[in-house]
Structure 1
Amino acid sequence: MTTPDHQSPASPVAKDRIYRSPMALVGGVLLLAVMAWLGFDALFRGHGRTPWLALAGMILAVPLVVAFTLRPAVFAGEDRLRIRNPFRVISLPWGEIASLRSGYSNEVVVKAGGKYQLWALPVSLRARKKAQTRRARAAADAARGSRPGGHGLGGLGGLGTGSALSTGPTRAETDQAMDDLRELLERRGEAESAQGEISVRWAYEVLAPAVAGAVLLAILYVTG
């Protein structure tokens, strides 16, 4: 008499890490709220050609605001990196990525020679400067505390000014995100499941309404 085979439960699939810009999200929501307020006011209270101009302007502007603020995101999975930029979605297997480069912008460099900007991870030079200042102050506090018999501000239970100023993250948020992506690239770059072809898709759901709004504005301008 045979006993049924008991299959081990499948290992859970790791969820993608999602990186987005909080400031862009807040700015996008505020812009959309202002546009809705002004646009609907012109639509329902305007006279003559004003409602049509407001409608055309909203059809053009809303997709663009969404594209540059709410849409950008980076999805880092075990096998590939998916970049959702304003007008394109790029799917990159880790095996096709040569490096992740940070300068005045954060970019992915592929082995074929191309590069793609990460709109969802904008570089903030101000945040970098603050993080560097915190690192320098933390190092100075540690040096004072490690001196034999030293009683610097950093050694008085954190009550000194230097200790207070050195608190907080010592790495800019987007730089830390790039470090995480580099670690994932190093770990998964040679994996068999992380090989494949690069896929690029245009965001027609953004481009089509924006073009329609631009055409409508042009028609209203010509016939005005």
Structure 2
Amino acid sequence: MTSPTPPAEPQFADRTYRSTSALVCGVLLLVLLAVMAGDALFQGKGQAPWLALAALLTAVPLIVAFTLRPAVFVNDERIRVRNPFRTIRLPWTEVADVRAGYSSELIAAGGAKYQLWAVPVSLRDRKRASRAAARVPHKDAYGRFSPGAGAGSDAHQHTAPPIAAADQTIMELRGLAERAGEPTGESTGTTGSVRWAYEVIAPAVAGAVLFVVLWAIG
């Protein structure tokens, strides 16, 4: 009797998208909070240490949730979106669209919308990319390069116009979704799921309740 063949492992690791600025801000906020709360914990009197502990219990999970936690993991089969309080897992066959307006969104085949916190849209970045694209030489209808700031010795090298980082990420995600084909609504053996991040919610709520109780009895 032969043993069942184990499922094939993914050939490549997931590609990860995260916001560098959010990571930096998160680390700085945690360091600042540790310095402020540490002073109250070790040198405070009365209820000050307990209030500082409750504030830490509330603030640390929230800072982690909104800065360090958000990420998007993708491979050729599915996308996993880790937002501050939820984790969404969808196969590409259940993704209708990925778009970026004033925020980045994942549209499921059923119509549900999920924001991609790890891919923030920067209007300033878009304006900067638009100005840079205007300086890139491009061909007209006759195949001639247009004159301008970018024309000159490098005019013969036609380069793609620069785009904002968020828009570039959305283009890559949309390409993976389009490669999987149109959503069929049929079961493919892999279904989507949405899971709440109770490991973030629970300590934040507990810390908030403790802080209110200590403040009330103090």
| TMscore range, shorter length | 0.7 to 0.9
Corresponding residue for 1:180? 172
1:33-182 matches, within 5 Å, as 33-139=31-137, 146=144, 154-156=151-153, 170-182=162-174
Q: Is the 8 A contact 2:137 2:145 kept in 1?
A: no
TM-score by length of 1: 0.82
Runs (4+) off by over 4 Å: 150-153, 190-195
Aligned equivalents of 1:152 and 1:42: distance in 2?
58
Deviation (angstroms), 1:197? 2.1
Give the structure with the higher percent helix. 1
Deviations 1:175-196 (A, max 9, x none): 1011000111111246999663
Distance 1:34 1:120, change over 3 A: same
Cα RMSD (Å) of the superposition?
A: 2.8
- Shifted more, 59-68 versus 189-198: the winner is 189-198
| Aligned residue pair count | 204
Distance 1:46 1:169, change over 3 A: farther
Q: Is the 8 A contact 1:53 1:217 kept in 2?
A: yes
Q: Among 21, 31, 35, which residue is 2:29 paired with?
A: 31
1:205 aligns with 2:171: no
Distance 1:193 1:179, change over 3 A: farther
Give the SS at the match of 2:126.
Answer: helix
Q: Is the 8 A contact 1:188 1:194 kept in 2?
A: no
Distance 1:53 1:138, change over 3 A: same
Aligned equivalents of 1:152 and 1:118: distance in 2?
36
Q: 2:165 corresponds to which letter in structure 1? A: E
Higher Cα Rg: structure 1 or 2? 1
Aligned equivalents of 2:93 and 2:129: distance in 1?
32
Q: Is the 8 A contact 1:108 1:117 kept in 2?
A: yes
Q: 1:174 corresponds to which letter in structure 2? A: A
Give the SS at the match of 2:110.
Answer: coil
TM-score by length of 2: 0.84
Give 5+ residue unaligned stretches, structure 2.
Answer: 1-7
Q: Is the 8 A contact 1:78 1:194 kept in 2?
A: no
Give 5+ residue unaligned stretches, structure 1.
Answer: 1-9, 159-166
Aligned equivalents of 2:9 and 2:19: distance in 1?
31
Distance 1:151 1:111, change over 3 A: closer
Distance 1:26 1:151, change over 3 A: closer
Give the SS at the match of 1:35.
Answer: helix
- Shifted more, 59-68 versus 129-138: the winner is 129-138
